[in-house]
């Protein structure tokens, strides 16, 4: 079976870039990405490619090449479902904020709504592909809804988790370590294999059963997050013993059994996936009464929370136990560099902690809007929106944030921070001039020579 038309429901950080690359590499397949959010679709269709709703290096070129040729963005969900041979579900699955599993389980209401809509609309057989990260055995629920509420057509369910990392989405999609496809029906699996074979070598396309595929996605993220928490745990030990965490990372990373990647100590991991997926894993383990397993993975999250609050506490303690009324400049708000995504960013929690101590925070991030920053803080519900706006200022010129500051906190590892005119910045700051580097980004020697008092994680 050769796929001619693909529809993707959900035009977010996963659906948008993934479908753009599938369309780029399969010019003979018509790809339509749909979303309920009209503003988002309008932005995907904007003539000005710098205004795409997802910022990813290189994405503008991919969209520019395929859009209008065989890549389309639309809000007409029913039409796109009706016409497609293959439907990807790439809607958000946030952690539940209510009811059973609150704070841990994935909220599947958006997935279920999609399934019901597909079932109601489809008049011909469809292959339905889970792209969103989901708890194990969601495919079963999906199949049940489709079969029981549909018009008697056949649905084949595949699991095809996405492993791209934000900030490098386009290179990750162009050159994936592997593509994973789980399913029960050989023909449906082969149809999706062919889509990827347009650019991915066959030996990198792994096929498994549905449950293995669903679980592998959670486990991959859990292992990656675990590495970050492991090195962050060691960073605290380094600070009290005089070891340097970067030197430790290098020393252990050279062991081919350990590997060098994902050993960078930081103020804590963020992003939409790590925390959510581990919480999901913990929830599943608890559901089956595997408490030792659940406790083991839960520690990864607890250590991450500890790392964020430890960083905030370090700032307060160093500044003579009070930050009340002091101006603290935040360099970066995104959860990592080269993305405008702020979901679960450590910056949010560090800011919240400092605001509890009545600090004044001025934020500069090259890609994150003021609107988003206030939204992130308001969402915590720790204080009123008015209070957040009174205590936090967002600027578009970094030097404005740094001028007159008592301290600088580096929360995101944006490259541009390294090239700032640190001499001028030093002159404009209060003395002593503190820098708290949560990303080990800046040059200790240079800053200390200029007279800064410099602290970095794990040193
Ligand atoms: C992650 C997975 O890498 C990706 O495969 C999956 O599809 C989605 O989740 P993402 O969250 O986009 O991707 O970014 P990632 O590069 O994994 O970084 C996650 C967080 O960990 C960031 O906050 C990053 O700063 C932090 N991190 C990462 C560290 O603190 N140290 C490291 O060594 C690596
Ligand atoms: C270990 C370190 O590998 C070595 O670098 C250090 O110098 C001494 O400690 P060793 O204990 O001799 O070496 O053997 P190793 O191969 O690491 O195995 C340790 C245990 O882990 C064994 O019981 C092994 O069966 C078990 N193991 C190892 C697993 O169960 N699964 C694995 O994937 C790897
Ligand atoms: P991800 O990082 O998983 O891509 P996002 O939140 O960036 O998550 O994107 C998910 C998108 O899915 C959002 O733009 C949201 O509007 C869209 N969405 C959610 N439910 C539906 C639905 N039933 N139909 C169409 N789009 C939906």
Closest residue by CA, ligand 3 atom 11: 10
Sheet holding 453-456, edge to edge: 392-394, 360-364, 327-331, 407-410, 434-437, 453-456
For position 211, what pLDDT does the model report? 92
For position 196, what pLDDT does the model report? 98
Compute the half-sphere exposure of residue 422: CA atoms within 13 Å on the CB side of its CA: 21
* Residues counted in the chain: 459
What gap in Å lies between CA 203 and CA 430, rounded to an integer? 58
Closest residue by CA, ligand 1 atom 26: 269
CA 435–ligand 2 middle distance (angstroms): 41
Instruction: Assess whether the C-beta atom of 248 lies below 6 angstroms from ligand 3.
Output: no
ipTM of the complex in this document: 0.94
Helix ranges (H only) for 242-369 are 245-253, 274-287, 291-318, 346-356
Ligand nearest to the CA of 252: 2
CA 372–ligand 1 middle distance (angstroms): 20
Ligand nearest to the CA of 258: 2
Ligand nearest to the CA of 349: 1
What gap in Å lies between CA 106 and CA 91, rounded to an integer? 12
8 Å CB contact between 298 and 290: no
8 Å CB contact between 334 and 365: yes
DSSP state of 51: G
What residues contact 290, with CB distance under 8 A and at least 6 apart? none
CA 89–ligand 2 middle distance (angstroms): 42
Instruction: Assess whether the C-beta atom of 266 lies below 6 angstroms from ligand 1.
Output: yes
Element (H, E) at 61: helix 59-66
For position 139, what pLDDT does the model report? 87
Ranges for all domains in the chain classified under CATH 3.40.50.720: 5-208, 209-459
SS3 98: coil
Give, to the nearest 10 degrees, the angle between helix 210-241 and helix 245-253. 130
For position 237, what pLDDT does the model report? 98
Q: How far is CA 457 from CA 294, 312, 411, 437, 449, in A?
A: 28, 12, 11, 7, 19
Atom of ligand 1 nearest to the CA of 268: 30
Considering the domain 5-208 in this protein, what is its CATH number? 3.40.50.720
Instruction: Assess whether the C-beta atom of 263 lies below 6 angstroms from ligand 1.
Output: yes
Angle 191-197-200 (CA atoms, 0-180°, nearest 5)? 140
Q: With left for phi above 0 and alpha for psi between -120 and 50, is residue 52 left, alpha or beta?
A: beta
What does the pLDDT look like over 218-256, one tens digit per residue? 999 999 999 999 999 999 999 999 999 999 999 999 999
CATH, domain 209-459, list 3.40.50.720, 2.60.34.30, 3.40.50.300, 3.30.70.100:
3.40.50.720
What does the pLDDT look like over 402-437, one tens digit per residue? 999 999 999 999 999 999 999 999 999 999 999 999
Ligand nearest to the CA of 94: 3
| Positions in the chain short of pLDDT 70 | none
Instruction: Please say whether the dihedral angle defined by the alpha carbons of residues 363, 388, 106 and 232, taken in this order, is positive or negative.
Output: positive
Closest residue by CA, ligand 1 atom 20: 269
Closest residue by CA, ligand 1 atom 10: 165
Is residue 102 exposed (0-12), middle (13-18) or buried (19+ Cβ within 10 Å)? Answer: exposed
Atom of ligand 3 nearest to the CA of 93: 3
For position 207, what pLDDT does the model report? 98
Instruction: Assess whether the C-beta atom of 22 lies below 6 angstroms from ligand 1.
Output: no
8 Å CB contact between 91 and 114: yes
Mutate to test the pocket of ligand 3, among 38, 74, 91 (most ligand atoms within 8 A of CB): 91
- The binding site for NAD(+) consists of 10-15, 35, 40, 91-95, 132-133, 166, 273-276, 343
Instruction: Assess whether the C-beta atom of 40 lies below 6 angstroms from ligand 3.
Output: yes
CA 334–ligand 1 middle distance (angstroms): 12
Instruction: Assess whether the C-beta atom of 364 lies below 6 angstroms from ligand 3.
Output: no
Tally Cβ neighbours within 10 Å of residue 398.
20
Give, to the nearest 10 degrees, the angle between helix 274-287 and helix 291-318. 140
SS3 183: strand
Is residue 60 exposed (0-12), middle (13-18) or buried (19+ Cβ within 10 Å)? Answer: middle
Residue where the block lists tokens 């205590």: 391
What does the pLDDT look like over 109-164, one tens digit per residue? 999 999 999 999 999 999 999 998 887 788 888 999 999 988 889 999 999 999 99
For position 79, what pLDDT does the model report? 98
DSSP string, 378-401: HHHTSS-HHHHHHHEEE-SSHHHH
Catalytic annotation present for 273: yes
CA 255–ligand 2 middle distance (angstroms): 13
What residues contact 223, with CB distance under 8 A and at least 6 apart? none
What gap in Å lies between CA 250 and CA 268, rounded to an integer? 19
Residue 328 phi, psi dihedral angles, 5° rounding: -115, 120
Q: Which two tokens stand for residue 29?
A: 């397949």
Instruction: Assess whether the C-beta atom of 228 lies below 6 angstroms from ligand 1.
Output: yes
Instruction: Assess whether the C-beta atom of 264 lies below 6 angstroms from ligand 1.
Output: yes
Q: Which of 8, 114, 238, 273 is catalytic?
A: 273
Instruction: Assess whether the C-beta atom of 162 lies below 6 angstroms from ligand 3.
Output: no
């Amino acid at each position: 079976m050769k796929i001619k038309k693909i529809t993707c429901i959900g035009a977010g950080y996963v659906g948008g870039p993934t479908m753009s690359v599938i369309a780029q590499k399969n010019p003979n397949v018509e790809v339509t990405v749909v979303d309920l959010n009209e503003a988002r679709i309008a932005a995907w269709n904007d003539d000005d490619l710098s205004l795409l709703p997802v910022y990813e290096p290189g994405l503008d070129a991919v969209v520019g090449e395929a859009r209008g040729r065989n890549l389309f963005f639309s809000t007409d969900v029913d039409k796109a479902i009706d016409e497609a041979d293959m439907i990807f579900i790439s809607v958000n699955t946030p952690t539940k904020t209510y009811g059973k599993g609150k704070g841990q389980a994935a909220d599947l209401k958006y997935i279920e709504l999609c399934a019901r809509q597909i079932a109601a609309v489809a008049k011909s057989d469809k292959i339905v592909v889970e792209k969103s990260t989901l708890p194990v055995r969601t495919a079963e629920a999906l199949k049940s809804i489709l079969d029981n509420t549909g018009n008697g057509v056949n649905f084949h369910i595949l699991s095809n988790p996405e492993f791209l990392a934000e900030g490098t989405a386009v290179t990750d999609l162009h050159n994936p370590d592997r593509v994973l496809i789980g399913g029960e029906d050989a023909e449906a699996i082969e149809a999706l294999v062919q889509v990827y074979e347009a650019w991915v070598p066959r030996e990198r396309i792994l096929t498994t059963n549905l449950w293995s595929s669903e679980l592998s996605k959670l486990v991959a993220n859990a292992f990656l997050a675990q590495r970050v928490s492991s090195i962050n745990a060691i960073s605290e030990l380094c600070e009290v013993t005089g070891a340097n965490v970067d030197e430790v990372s290098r020393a252990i990373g050279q062991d081919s059994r350990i590997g060098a990647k994902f050993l960078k100590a930081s103020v804590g991991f963020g992003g939409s996936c790590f925390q959510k997926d581990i919480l999901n894993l913990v929830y599943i383990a608890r559901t089956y009464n595997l408490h030792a397993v659940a406790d083991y993975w839960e520690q990864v999250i607890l250590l991450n929370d500890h790392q964020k609050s430890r960083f905030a506490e370090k700032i307060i303690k160093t500044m003579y136990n009070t930050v009340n009324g002091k101006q603290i400049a935040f360099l970066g708000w995104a959860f990592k560099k080269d993305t405008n995504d702020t979901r679960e960013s450590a910056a949010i929690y560090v800011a919240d902690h400092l605001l509890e101590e009545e600090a004044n925070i001025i934020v500069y991030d090259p890609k994150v809007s003021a609107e988003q920053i206030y939204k992130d803080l308001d969402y915590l519900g720790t204080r009123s929106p008015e209070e957040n706006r009174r205590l936090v200022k967002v600027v578009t010129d970094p030097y404005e944030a740094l001028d007159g500051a008592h301290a600088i906190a580096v929360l995101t590892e944006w490259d541009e921070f390294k090239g700032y005119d640190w001499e001028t910045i030093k002159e404009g700051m209060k003395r002593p001039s503190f820098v708290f580097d949560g990303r080990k980004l800046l040059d200790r020697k240079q800053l200390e020579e200029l007279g800064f008092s410099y602290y970095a994680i794990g040193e």
